[in-house]
């Protein structure tokens, strides 16, 4: 009887409609908000107002309508303000910051992952890489690591490599958790859905894969790009965004609806993409152009040509955009190339304009950029070579990573 009752219950759970699931999740979310606000407020009337205000704020943030004006408050750091760290023998290809802004993880072509303390600037731990062919006996990566992502609760670190694999690590003690196999080409990007343990990965095999990290399970494969995928990003919604490299398209994958949105506009290979909010994104291409987009329009809202080519000394394709980043729900984005500068940009009203705020001198290929969650600083992974190959070698560059402080003029005057 118990067994049959369990079967009935499980079938009822399975039959939960999308509408019922939305309602259940909404109730959970409301009760969570009420709990959080109840700790701060005394009477019931104030509590209702506080919850309503929080809901309005969250809805605006989700829709991308709430944009904090940060760019104009940022002050260009001097060269002495920029802290540089070395600890990898080969180019640093990827970088992430823990959600509490206390630690940084770097990955490299030397197959190592390093954990650093931002407070002391010291290396805390190294996940050693092994030689190619030792995959069965070696727990670390055995080929160039190309990308990394950390979950928004700081419980999982994912890294993708040239060996077609995604490996999962515990960010606290850097212990190995699991490896996801399935891609048929180098894994070029990984991204966690914010507030969840869903992991998206993209590859040179032209597909996106979805993984359930809690269950350590494969979920599905998404097809649509016609060339190797170069970059992936995601935020809170059940969506992922990818740059399709030489197919010159950006795809927004709507997982729940099992559909995708397609965007065209760059005249060159799209090398990187970053979501600014749920409704806008920022891309960089190998002709040195950067673009701002809205998910409501198929073409860019604005494009800056030769963004990293101001003197016109090089052909456009030489200083291609190698990394972009966005400070979520603000007007501040950043781009990197190999022209010797990381550039910070201000997104104008309704994301229709893009204006350079300042440029920070950093020598080498900027292979990855990330903003701290509080917006106080930006970190850059730097190498003598591009993360994907060895087309150029900048002998004057040093393999490492740097912290770029974003001094706020408002804070200085206050």
**Angle, vertex CA 304, rays to CA 302 and CA 306, nearest 5:** 160
Contact 208, 167 (CB under 8 A): no
pLDDT of residue 182: 97
What is the rounded radius of gyration, in angstroms, for the C-alpha atoms of the chain? 22
158/161 Cα distance (integer angstroms): 10
Nearest C-alpha neighbor of 261 from the set 296, 291, 229? 296
pLDDT of residue 3: 46
- Per-residue tokens: 372: 């701290």
pLDDT of residue 414: 33
pLDDT of residue 149: 98
200-243 residue pLDDT tens? 999 999 999 999 999 999 999 999 999 999 999 999 999 999 99
Q: Is 344 helix (H, G, I), strand (E, B) or coil?
A: strand
pLDDT of residue 13: 46
Question: Can you give the pTM of this predicted structure?
Answer: 0.83
**Number of residues assigned to the chain:** 414
Cα–Cα distances (Å) from 73 to 155, 350, 413, in that order, read 32, 19, 11
DSSP string, 309-327: -TT--S-TTTT---EEEE-
First vs last Cα of the chain: how many Å apart? 70
Contact 82, 404 (CB under 8 A): yes
Nearest C-alpha neighbor of 158 from the set 204, 207, 209? 209
12/5 Cα distance (integer angstroms): 11
Placement of tokens 């040239």 in the chain = 162
pLDDT of residue 413: 35
Low-confidence ranges of the chain (pLDDT < 70): 1-16, 18, 37, 39-45, 47, 49-66, 135, 311-317, 391, 408-414
Long-range pairs of 8-13 with CB within 8 A, sequence gap ≥ 24: none
pLDDT of residue 408: 65
271/40 Cα distance (integer angstroms): 45
């Amino acid at each position: 009887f118990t067994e049959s009752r369990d079967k009935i219950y499980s079938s009822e759970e399975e039959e939960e409609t999308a509408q019922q699931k939305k309602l259940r999740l909404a109730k959970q979310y409301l009760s969570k908000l009420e709990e959080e606000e109840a700790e701060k407020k005394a009477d019931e009337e104030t509590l209702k107002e506080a919850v309503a205000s929080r809901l309005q704020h969250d809805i605006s943030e989700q829709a991308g309508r709430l944009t904090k004006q940060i760019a104009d408050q940022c002050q260009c750091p001097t060269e002495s303000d920029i802290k540089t760290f070395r600890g990898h023998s080969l180019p640093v290809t990827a970088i992430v910051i823990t959600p509490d802004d206390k630690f940084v993880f770097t990955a490299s072509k030397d197959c190592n992952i390093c954990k650093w303390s931002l407070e002391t600037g010291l290396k805390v731990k190294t996940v050693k890489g092994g030689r190619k062919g030792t995959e069965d006996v070696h727990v670390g990566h055995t080929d160039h690591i190309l990308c990394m992502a950390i979950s928004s609760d700081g419980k999982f670190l994912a890294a993708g490599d040239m060996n077609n694999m995604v490996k999962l690590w515990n960010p606290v003690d850097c212990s190995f958790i699991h490896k996801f196999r399935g891609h048929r080409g180098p894994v070029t990007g990984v991204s966690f859905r914010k507030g969840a343990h869903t992991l998206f990965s993209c590859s040179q095999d032209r597909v996106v894969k979805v993984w359930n990290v809690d269950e350590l399970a494969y979920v599905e494969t998404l097809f649509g790009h016609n060339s190797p995928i170069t970059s992936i990003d995601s935020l809170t919604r059940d969506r992922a965004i990818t740059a399709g490299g030489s197919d010159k398209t950006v795809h927004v994958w709507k997982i729940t609806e099992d559909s995708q949105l397609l965007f065209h506009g760059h005249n060159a290979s799209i090398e990187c993409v970053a979501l600014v909010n749920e409704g806008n994104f920022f891309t960089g291409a190998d002709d040195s152009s950067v673009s701002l987009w809205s998910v409501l329009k198929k073409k860019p809202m604005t494009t800056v040509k030769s963004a990293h080519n101001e003197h016109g000394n090089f052909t456009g394709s030489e200083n291609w955009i190698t990394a972009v980043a966005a400070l979520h729900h603000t007007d501040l984005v950043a781009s990197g190339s190999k022209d010797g500068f990381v550039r910070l940009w201000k997104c104008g009203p309704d994301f229709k304009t893009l204006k350079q705020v300042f440029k920070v001198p950093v020598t080498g290929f900027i292979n990855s950029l990330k903003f701290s969650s509080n917006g106080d600083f930006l970190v850059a992974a730097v190498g003598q070579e591009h993360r994907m190959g060895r087309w150029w070698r900048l002998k004057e560059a040093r393999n490492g990573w740097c912290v770029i402080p974003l001094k706020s003029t408002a804070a200085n005057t206050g």
